[in-house]
Amino acid sequence: MSRLTPISFETSEIEAIASATGRVAIIVTPDGKMDKAARRANRLTKGAVARLLESDGFGAAKPGKVITMAWPAGMAAEALDVLVLERRASVIEARKAGAALAKVKGDKALLVMAGGLARPEDLALGLILRDYRFEAHKTAPDTEVGGVTIHHTKADELSLDSVRAIADGVVMTRDLVNEPANVLTTTEFADRLVEMQGLGLKVEVLDEAKLEELGMRTLLCVGQGSDSPSKVVVMQWNGGADGDAPLALVGKGVVFDTGGISLKPAGGMEDMTMDMGGAGVVAGTMRALAMRKARANVVGLVGLVENMPSSNAVRPGDVVRSMKGDTVEVINTDAEGRLVLCDVMWYAQERFKPAGMIDLATLTGAIIVGLGHENAGVFSNDDALCKAFLKAADAEGEGAWRMPLGTAYDELLKSRIADMKNIGGRPAGSITAAQFLLRFVQDGMPWIHLDIAGVASVKAETSLAPKGATGWGVMALNRLVADMFEGG
């Protein structure tokens, strides 16, 4: 797994400003007020910080902005980074500020003079997440990355355990989504999840013979054109009370999606390595929960398949029977994610009788048309669960927007020869996909469907991630578990 930036808290030591090598960061408020460390840096640089704060350039600086002074006189450091931030910054502001420091940090060691800054842990989390680099397939020797030391007046009271757990989960998700499909096969994916047994997770891998026995024929039909065997991996974290029903997280894990017989256009097909994004988020969330020893029962299930065209591939017009027993007419083999999810969702409910169920999938291009790359689409049959998730996502700065459901959309899924079609055409494409999945939600089961096609992997950097995989959803789901099942 990609390395996490080495980071630590230490008790504030003003004299360290003069002797620290690499980079030193100080914090000033948007109105130009300096704390003890900033004043010390100002004296060392013979008033250079004060002159900066009086300049027109500083007046235009917004909170979270970093202004760099190269080779500051009177200091051993090669750069003095002036971070503009309120002392009582919000969670999101503190994380973005940390990310801003990470962007200028490079490979150098960084000393952050945080003083009595509120939420230093969130500053650290933002710094770690933005300093992420996926270099597993680079042939150049790895550059040694300098660590980060944060000096804080209450360092003895601070802990990085939760920060590292969350960051580890996000980084695992990013690594999985960034991996090429020739590396992250269904077997390799399953093997990486089995390795998490060392964290206290109980992990089972269901092979094709077991899936056939269970009747997961819609899932199996998606992968029948590939040489990579289809699998379902079940991860259990039992940190709550015995007998408490778990929250079930279900992820679509299409390790590569050609579209099957309904072949995708060549342009952009290389991006379909990210079509296992939902499974990646489930895996990362389970890792985070295990690492921080969450006081909750959560089960994560992922359906791992590869959608390839071949003489054995499922064809448009084929009719397949699901584990539930409903029949599906496959109109378009590129609408395969719902065929994977529906069987795994049914299995999760039948086996675990969960308190609620959330599925995640890079399911439709239609959700990108509707919401772009700022928000995931949220579909739910339960207002209380949906409200709790949207609150958690907002608190973590992960964009999410509720979309409608309705029986009128079912008309688009009617089949002449089967119980339903797997696609309803171009109109309301993300909604009809959710309506399809809703048919596999048992009566009384609180459920959320998250269409993350627009947010799982992006072409431009975000506030907390370089371009590529974002790890969207790990932080929101982790907070939802804490809020709903651990009492906050």
Question: Which sequence positions are flagged as catalytic?
Answer: 264, 338
Task: Give dist(CA 125, CA 96) in Å, integer.
Answer: 9
Task: Give dist(CA 410, CA 399) in Å, integer.
Answer: 28
> In this structure, what token pair is assigned to residue 449?
């469907």
The backbone torsions φ and ψ at residue 28, rounded to the nearest 5 degrees and listed phi first, read -125, 150
